[in-house]
Amino acid sequence: MVVYKWPRSLIKEGDNILRNYIWTGDPTKRKGVTLKWDKVCKPIQEGDLGVRSLGEVSNAILCKLHWVFKQGIEDWALFLKSKFSTKSGDTIRYHNPSTIWSGIQTGATLSKPYIGWLIGDGKKIDFWRDTWVT
């Protein structure tokens, strides 16, 4: 599982190898192609090849890592919560956090626009800290 954001250079190199393999069958041979890589990476339902960009895969895995952390069921998530969060849920800022924590924070940033509340029994609501109106 990915626990940190992949460097752009690694993603670019991986996409180049994948692109070369798709067009030539050999990851080391290059071929001039007129089809944009972004179009190749679109879903099959949109009429394209459905190949996944390594950057998008990395981001999706980091979002899932953040989601599993927020669930707080796994032992590693409980350990990281105790190390990097206060009892009230605030994040403790470290000068040199672990690479796993940096990955979780990146996943939180990427997934924040897509997270919402489900109405439940109210046990996880913090009246003073939660956002009531956007």
pLDDT recorded at residue 83: 86
Q: Which residues partner with 85 through β-bridges?
A: 91
CB 63 within 8 A of CB 105: no
Mean pLDDT of the chain: 82
pLDDT in tens, 102-111: 888 899 899 9
**Is the pTM of the predicted complex or chain greater than 0.85?**
no
The domain ranges of the chain are: 1-134
pLDDT in tens, 83-103: 888 877 777 877 677 778 888
Q: Which of 123, 74, 128 is nearest to 100 (CA)?
A: 74
C-alpha separations of 89 from 45, 81, 125, 126 in Å = 41, 8, 12, 10
Q: Which of 99, 105, 119 is nearest to 63 (CA)?
A: 105
